[in-house]
């Protein structure tokens, strides 16, 4: 099968690793990687890279993500969500206006201390392995950005929010921090990831749906092309005479003629249609003359050099 990306809708009860293991069995492929861990109790978008697309996993992990969460005020747990042990319950003696203004104050760049019940590694071990033994370690704060918070429903003690944030953000910790600032405490009661970069929940498929699609011989209909990950980059289409050299990863000389520029398909690039006008370091999607995606090239002094190779022969 060809490489590509599956927009998986992870259901509650599965870990992100469970999803990868299940897909290996469905697709009979070993080279699979997911693009961002979701807690077992959470649901939502989990893009999974297949074959050569796994080279794009790290880049996709940096994408902005959006979530819908149910924050329950007045409850504090050891895991910062309602699956954990309750540590304290307090009355929610704050007004709706205070709740709204406090939530709004969290929008912007900030430092966040990751929770003990998380997959973040300290000393080579996941934090949750320490937490399960009752050990709490000092954690270094991560610099994150909360891009936007929209309150969808406010019926105290429950607040339904849509949060858009940078990588490395823990929504459980955001809920707990909001509760601390309000003075009543809070825990995350539910979480759904609705978007990862350009992948959203409207087109995501459950494992059962993917399995049925594969059994029907229609995998190609749901497997997204690798170059979708790089859609924001300008592209270059190489002339037919460069096909053999390009398939071998050869650099492209600046004097080469016949290289056309594309943006989002066939639109002129920001460089005015001539890739040679690009600044050193500018990355380009590169395609062969027949439209096959080759990989990512970077502008250098001599021309273009290969950065990441994704090409595979068409079946």
Q: Assign 66 a pLDDT band (cuts: 50, 70, 90).
A: very high
pTM score: 0.88
| Residue 289: pLDDT over 80 | yes
| Residue 130: pLDDT over 80 | no
**Going by C-beta distance under 8 Å and a sequence separation of 6 or more, which residues neighbour residue 64?**
147, 164, 165, 166, 167, 197
Question: Cα dist. 116→145, 155, 173, 219, 246 in Å?
Answer: 20, 29, 10, 39, 48
Q: Write down the pLDDT at residue 132.
A: 79
The position carrying tokens 């995606």 is 293
- CB count in 10 Å sphere of residue 52: 19
Q: Write down the pLDDT at residue 241.
A: 87
DSSP 53: G
Q: Write down the pLDDT at residue 259.
A: 86
Cα–Cα distance for residue pair 112/115, rounded to 1 Å: 9
Q: Write down the pLDDT at residue 263.
A: 60
| Residue 182: pLDDT over 50 | yes
Q: Write down the pLDDT at residue 126.
A: 76
pLDDT, the chain, mean:
90
Q: Assign 160 a pLDDT band (cuts: 50, 70, 90).
A: very high
Percent of the chain clearing pLDDT 90 (strictly above): 63
Q: Write down the pLDDT at residue 266.
A: 45
| Residue 61: pLDDT over 60 | yes
Q: Write down the pLDDT at residue 271.
A: 46
* 36 in Cβ contact with 171 (< 8 Å): no
Range picked from 125-129, 137-141, 152-156 for highest mean pLDDT: 152-156
DSSP 277: G
Q: Assign 265 a pLDDT band (cuts: 50, 70, 90).
A: very low
Helix (H/G/I), strand (E/B), else coil: 90:
coil
Q: Write down the pLDDT at residue 133.
A: 72
| Residue 262: pLDDT over 80 | no
Number of helices and strands in the chain (H, E): 7, 19
Q: Assign 158 a pLDDT band (cuts: 50, 70, 90).
A: very high
Cα–Cα distance for residue pair 181/302, rounded to 1 Å: 56
| Residue 128: pLDDT over 90 | no
Q: Write down the pLDDT at residue 315.
A: 60
Q: Which of 18, 39, 70, 232 is catalytic?
A: 39
* 105 in Cβ contact with 174 (< 8 Å): no
Mean pLDDT of 266-293: 77
Q: Write down the pLDDT at residue 112.
A: 95
- In tens, the pLDDT along 75-114 reads 999 999 999 999 999 999 999 999 999 999 999 999 999 8
Tell me which H or E stretch contains 19: helix 16-27
The position carrying tokens 């954690």 is 139
Partners of 263 in the β-ladder: 267
Mean pLDDT of 18-33: 94
Cα–Cα distance for residue pair 17/160, rounded to 1 Å: 28
| Residue 1: pLDDT over 80 | no
- Is there a catalytic annotation at residue 39? yes
Mean pLDDT of 143-159: 97
* 275 in Cβ contact with 262 (< 8 Å): no
Q: Write down the pLDDT at residue 140.
A: 85
Beta-strand pair 86-89/108-112: unpaired
Reference 205, options 33, 9, 25; nearest CA is 9
Which stretches does DSSP call E strand in the chain? 4-10, 32-34, 43-50, 65-73, 75-77, 86-89, 108-112, 121-122, 125-126, 142-155, 158-165, 186-196, 199-200, 235-237, 252-253, 260-262, 283-287, 293-300, 303-309
- In tens, the pLDDT along 201-242 reads 999 999 999 999 999 999 999 999 999 888 888 889 998 888
* 64 in Cβ contact with 56 (< 8 Å): no
């Amino acid at each position: 099968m060809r490489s590509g990306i599956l927009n998986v809708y992870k259901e509650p009860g599965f870990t992100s690793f469970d999803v990868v293991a299940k897909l290996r069995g469905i697709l009979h492929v070993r080279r699979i990687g997911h693009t961002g861990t979701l807690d077992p109790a959470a649901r939502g978008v989990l893009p999974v890279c297949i074959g050569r697309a796994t080279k794009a996993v790290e880049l996709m992990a940096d994408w902005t993500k959006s979530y819908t969460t149910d924050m329950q005020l007045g409850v504090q747990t050891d895991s910062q969500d309602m699956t954990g042990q309750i540590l304290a319950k307090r009355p929610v003696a704050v007004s709706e206006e205070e709740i709204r203004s406090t939530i709004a104050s969290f929008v912007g760049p900030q430092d966040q201390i990751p929770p003990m019940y998380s997959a973040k590694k300290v000393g080579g071990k996941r934090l949750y392995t320490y937490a399960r033994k009752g050990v709490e370690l000092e954690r270094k704060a991560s610099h994150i950005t909360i891009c936007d918070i929209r309150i969808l429903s406010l019926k105290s003690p429950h607040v339904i929010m849509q949060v858009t944030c940078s990588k490395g953000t823990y929504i459980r910790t955001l809920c707990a921090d909001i509760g601390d600032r309000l003075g009543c405490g809070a825990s995350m009661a539910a979480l759904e990831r609705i978007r990862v970069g350009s992948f959203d929940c409207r087109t995501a498929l459950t494992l059962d749906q993917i399995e049925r699609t594969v059994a029907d011989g229609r995998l190609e209909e749901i497997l997204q092309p690798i170059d979708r990950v790089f859609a924001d980059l300008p592209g270059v289409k190489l002339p037919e005479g460069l096909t053999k050299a390009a398939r071998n990863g050869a650099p492209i000389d600046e004097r080469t003629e016949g290289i056309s520029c594309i943006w989002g398909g066939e639109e002129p690039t920001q460089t005015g249609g001539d890739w040679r006008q690009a600044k050193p370091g500018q990355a380009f999607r590169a395609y062969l003359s027949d439209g096959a995606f080759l990989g990512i090239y970077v502008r250098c002094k001599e021309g273009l050099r290969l950065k990441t190779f994704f090409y595979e022969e068409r079946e």
